[in-house]
Structure 1
Amino acid sequence: MNATYAARAAAGALAALLVLAGCSSKARNADHGDGDKASASPMKTGVGVSGKTITLGALTDMTGAYATLGKSVTQAQQLYVKQLNAAGGACGYKVQLAIRDHGYDPQKALSGYAELEPKVLGFVQFIGSPFVAAVQQRIHDHDKGLVLPQTWSAALDGYYIRTIGSTYDMETMNAIDFLMKEKGIKKGDRIGHVYVEGDYGEGALRGSKHVAQLYGLTVVEQKIKPTDNDMTAQVAALRKAGVKAIVLSAGPRQAASLVGVAAAGGFDVPVIGNHSAFAPRLLATRAGPALTRNYWVASPWLPIGADTPEAKKLVADYRAAYPKDALDNDIVAGWIAASAFGEVLKRACARKDLTREGVLSALPTTDSLDLGFGVVQGFTDFWGPSARASVILRPDKSVTGGLRVVREPTVSEAASAYVDAD
């Protein structure tokens, strides 16, 4: 999703300001580093641990361009923390979230990170790839805390900033694999790729180009801006180019327009989007019938309406906690990130080290985390995502969350062997 890209130009300025803000981080860290040494506990603790409480940061968007995403992710993580604490916490430590809403504003994201960083053990949520990019160098050089962002850009993945699930490039490879195996796309065919400028779209494009080179396809590119909501020109260009299928790496509004325009013009080719290119509310729009007929979605995990005990429990618990709110796959994204961080905390506890270094040391021991959503997460590779598989989904308004599974988690040969040159 996250991915937005309008703030990309501000990333350099943000990064410079953040370096200045980080100049006193060593002094601040020293103030927190010995907080529990005077106690009788043998546990080693540091920043973000006070007494018997662990604080994790959540930099979210509850009021801006990605408010729907931010609300679902945050509420899912609050639910996880509530249940974790009710079960005894992380080896007796209570976990709490320090939440800041940046409203997808660059300056608020800067100030939110600068405020929370000296107070938290790590970040269980960070929405906005431009903002994560702005603090990336500071995290690696100075802060050294684990960050699980709600972005799937391979450009941001590595060591301290860890992608949960397949990155957009690998997800796109898996999506095209589905088109080739299930929708008749073959060597020599032309496929369209409509992608939004920025880390999200350009990362996904690397995936389609990689597959095209491997299997003799031709990619017809259509680059758009995040504010472009009418896909009429793009559909016309792709139709003229004779594409046999379309990949969409943009947002839900672009998906509704592209699929709706294609259907209205009788341009009957399959369209598949990355997981950020769908929202259940689309099914109630005029584009709903076209989406259910000719649109598919690649996802890093099973949908919220999956037929697994864990998914059913999450649905029941979320409905009980937030009875007025809709169910969507962003809830799954938030839940999986919180669960993964919670598991790492438990392993760090067992190693008697709840410092930032201790959490990072415990991370690679989490190598087969099955949370009941089809894709096992593993963190042994410090420079890669936690998984490479994708689930293929299809819009269906009769299903909880609006998506049903049409292909179980699969790693394409292209994604399995892929090494990002960047």
Structure 2
Amino acid sequence: MNRFRLHAGAIGLAALLAMTATACSGKGTDGGDTTGADGVKHGPGVTDKTIGVGMITDLTGPYAALAKGITQGGQLYFEQVNQAGGICGRQVESLVRDMSYDVQKSVAAYTELEPKVAAFGHFIGSATVGAVKDRISKDGPLTMVLAWSPQMLGAEQLQMTGTTYAIDVINGVDYMVEKHGLKSGDKIGHIYLEGDYGDDSLAGSTYAAQQHGMTVVEQKVKATDADMTSQIAAMKSAGVKVIVLSVSPKQTASAVGVAAAQGLNVPFIGSNSSYAPQLLATPVGPALLKNLVVMQASSPLSADLPAMKKLAADYKAKYPNDGLDNGVMAGYTTAAITGDALKLACEKKDLSRDGIIAAHRSQSAWDGGFGSKLDFTQVNQPPSRDTHILQPDKDSLGGLKTIREPSASENAKKYEIKVG
């Protein structure tokens, strides 16, 4: 969910908005932490009866298809929490704002919600989060970031929920060396979006190529580019043996479809946000089934896990007309991580922002039943370096099946992440 670097003018305006709104961020409108009648200390977003949790999402922008599931998955989790009695005797209020993957709207949404919430259950996008990162890092709430740029590391308030784009790509390239015979002297193609998403992904493919004596053929694209014909033609001319895709799902469909039409029969490895199961119902579906694998830190919905099966059943019951995809799982699990931090903070009788963050950062092996152990204790590192290798599959729940269980290659383990 990702990571477009917007026009410099928009960024400049966003920065100005962030600066002028700084006075509003603080510790909320109540002027500081208080202690409730039950002896629980609390800060902004918490009363004796409610806990506010924000979700800054993209319901009308380029990632709307995935963000709908993310948002509904998060709302489903907190509805279930409330039905079970809430957290610390309080009901959770989900406050959702759509920012259309627009930096200015993202700044406005954060400015509005920050005094009203104890935590953000999710905040989508590197560029959008980046516009208010300094404010969050100063005194903001615990924020689950659905973006995997190293720029999202380094602040105790910010928590990515998997590994970085670069680590995923390194694991993916190493998988291709192991399983598809890539060797020294081969060329790797990489089509990537401009911005943090693409930049970090390219850093991963470049590093992996260097470790194996290979070279990378680069093709940078904009978010508005829909036709990958020229990019695939360049890959074919260069004689690449595999193509990495760090783009949007629609761009993935174009790239794989054009390659099939041009007779370029090479495997594609897609970053976690490059694929959506809806693509399998399009004319490019057969080519995706044949040539694409997907790299992501989290388990797919089709994983044989009781928690995943329960999530799928509960979501279908709540939203019978909506499909299941990895967005649902991402939204539900980030909400669960948030909920567990709130529950731990409650046990300490401290629902202040500092108390919630401390509770969250005390967990070194969070799992939640979803098959990926995450270490939240290291502010400057992602919580995992393991990557699942998945394959599109029309018969699997969520449109993906596991072809390699989560693991980290030696190259991924030793890769040095430069925190932004």
Q: When the two structures are superposed, what TM-score results if normalisation uses the length of structure 2?
A: 0.95
Asked whether 1:148 is paired with 2:144, we answer yes
Q: One-letter code of the match for 1:210?
A: Y
Query: For residue 51 of structure 2, what is the amino acid of its counterpart?
Result: I
State whether residues 53 and 95 of structure 1, in contact with CA within 8 Å, keep that contact through their aligned partners in structure 2.
yes
Work out whether 1:157 is the aligned partner of 2:153: yes
The CA distance in 1 between the partners of 2:342 and 2:195, in whole Å, is 33
1:31 and 2:27 correspond: no
Q: Is 1:136 the counterpart of 2:133 in the alignment?
A: yes
Question: Cα deviation per residue 1:271-310 (whole Å; 9 max; x = unaligned)?
Answer: 1100101111111111111110111101111111222111
Whichever residue aligns with residue 220 of structure 1, its letter is V
Could you tell me how far apart the structure 1 residues matched to 2:143 and 2:8 are? 19
- Between the aligned partners of 2:75 and 2:294, the Cα distance in structure 1 is 27
- In the alignment, the residues of structure 2 paired with residue 371 and residue 363 of structure 1 have an alpha-carbon distance, to the nearest angstrom, of 13
**Which has the larger displacement, 183-192 or 8-17?**
8-17
Please tell me whether residue 287 in structure 1 is matched to residue 284 in structure 2.
Answer: yes
Call closer, same or farther: CA 1:213–1:166 in 2, change over 3 Å. Answer: same
Residue 364 of structure 1 corresponds to 361
Q: Which residue of 2 aligns with 1:115?
A: 112
Determine the C-alpha separation between the residues in 1 that align with 2:148 and 2:180: 26
Deviation at 1:229, TM superposition (A): 1.6
Once residues 167 and 8 of structure 1 are traced to their aligned partners in structure 2, the CA distance between those partners, rounded to angstroms, is 24
Instruction: Please state how far the C-alpha of 1:32 moved relative to its aligned partner.
Output: 4.9
Relative to structure 1, is the Cα distance of residues 366 and 7 closer, same or farther in structure 2, using a 3 angstrom cutoff? farther
Q: Which residue of 2 aligns with 1:262?
A: 259
The amino acid across from 1:310 in the alignment is: A
| 1:13 pairs with 2:13 | yes
- The answer (yes or no) to whether the contact 1:8–1:198 under 8 Å persists in 2 is no
1:383 maps to 2:376? no
Q: How does 1:126-275 map to 2 (within 5 A)?
A: 126-141=123-138, 143-159=139-155, 160-275=157-272
Alpha-carbon separation, structure 2, partners of 1:370 and 1:110 = 32
Confirm whether residue 22 of structure 1 aligns to residue 25 of structure 2.
no
- Shift in Å, 1:7: 5.6
Q: Quote the Cα distance in structure 2 between the aligned partners of 1:419 and 1:149.
A: 21
1:124 lines up with 2:121 in the alignment: yes
Q: Once the 2 structures are TM-superposed, how far is the Cα of residue 3 of structure 1 from its aligned partner?
A: 2.5
Deviation at 1:206, TM superposition (A): 0.8
Specify the alignment match of 1:68 in structure 2. Answer: 65
Contact kept? 1:389, 1:409, Cα under 8 Å: yes
Question: Unaligned 5+ residue runs, structure 1?
Answer: none
Cα drift, residue 412 of structure 1: 1.5
Cα distance change, pair 396–9 in 1 and its aligned pair in 2 (3 A): farther
CA contact (8 A) 1:7 1:130 kept: no
- Work out the CA distance in 2 between the residues paired with 1:223 and 1:76: 33
Cα pair 2:41 2:350 within 8 Å, conserved: yes
In the alignment, is the contact (CA less than 8 A) between 1:11 and 1:131 conserved in 2?
A: no
Deviates more, 1:171-180 or 1:367-376: 367-376
Deviation at 1:33, TM superposition (A): 2.5
- Describe the shift of the 1:155–1:386 C-alpha distance in structure 2 as closer, same or farther (beyond 3 A): same
Provide the C-alpha distance between the structure 1 equivalents of 2:372 and 2:181, rounded to a whole number of angstroms: 26
Name which of 297, 302, 306 aligns with 1:305: 302
Residues 8 and 99 of structure 1: CA distance in aligned 2, closer, same or farther (over 3 Å): farther
* Pair 1:9–1:278, CA change in 2 (3 A): farther
Aligned-pair distance for 1:90? 2.2
| Separation in 2, partners of 1:247, 1:316 | 34
1: CA distance, partners of 2:252 / 2:8: 22
Structure 2: give runs of 5+ residues left out of the alignment. Answer: none
Q: 1:40, CA displacement in angstroms? A: 3.0
Query: How far apart are residue 9 of structure 1 and its match?
Result: 4.9
The answer to whether structure 1 residue 104 and structure 2 residue 101 are counterparts is: yes
- Give me the whole-angstrom Cα distance separating, in 2, the residues matched to 1:382 and 1:359: 15
> Counterparts of 2:7 and 2:115 in 1: how far apart (Å)?
25
Structure 2 counterpart of 1:90: 87
**Closer/same/farther in 2, CA of residues 187 and 396 from structure 1, 3 Å limit:** same
Whether the 8 Å contact between 2:24 and 2:111 is mirrored in structure 1 is no
Give yes or no for contact 1:45–1:353 (8 Å, CA) kept in 2.
yes
The whole-number CA distance in structure 1 between the counterparts of 2:37 and 2:47 is 14
Distance of aligned partners of 1:92 and 1:417 in 2 relative to their CA distance in 1, 3 Å threshold: farther
Q: Distance in 1 between matches of 2:9 and 2:305?
A: 42
